[in-house]
Amino acid sequence: MKLDTKGIAILAFIAGIVAFFLLSPNQGLQSIPPATNIQTIDGKTIELDSLKGKPYLLTFWSVTCPGCVGEIPHLIELEKKMQGTGFQVIGVAMSYDTPPEIKAMQEKKGMNYTIAYDQSGELASKFDIRVTPTSFMITADGKIKTRKMGEWDPAELEQTAREMLKG
């Protein structure tokens, strides 16, 4: 059987284009949608509009996502380093996680930052979350500075947070 390399190359090119459009970030979302609330795992409601004035990291994660779990120590460290600056980390667990799983992970890993639970999946839909982890660096005026799909490099994460504090 003869291998048609030209046909395979064309198919690979088309698959690459499809993957790019399916996994590329949505450029339409430039700022936090108005009247967006998150529910913490402890039952508190946070209005994201109330966070204006200080930058923060909003990261969507799952207890079953290896990359998300691998990133937790870096987020813990960032929260420690940024303590007292006004910058904060907010982790949003996905709707397919359960509160007992989320709380167990929070306790096991010693997660020192705010943990929210997107029980309905509405928040993930508003932010067009396609993969976890997906993170957003939000400026003090509520604009999305950076959307990152996948894990952060710890040095880049800290540098971006410090730059945002400068304005």
| DSSP letters for 22-55 | HHS--TT--BPPTT-EEEBTTS-EEEGGGGTTS-
Residue 14 backbone dihedrals phi, psi, to 5 degrees: -65, -40
Range of the domain at 87: 29-166
Please report the pLDDT score of residue 74 as a whole number. Answer: 96
The CATH number of residue 42's host domain is 3.40.30.10
In-domain check, residue 156: yes
Please report the pLDDT score of residue 31 as a whole number. Answer: 79
Number of domains in the chain: 1
Residue 113 backbone dihedrals phi, psi, to 5 degrees: -110, 170
In-domain check, residue 76: yes
144-149 and 45-47 strand pairing: unpaired
In-domain check, residue 129: yes
Please report the pLDDT score of residue 12 as a whole number. Answer: 60
pLDDT digits (tens, 9 = 90+) for 24-72: 544 556 778 777 899 999 999 999 989 989 999 999 999 999 999 999 9
Cβ contact 61:91 at 8 Å = yes
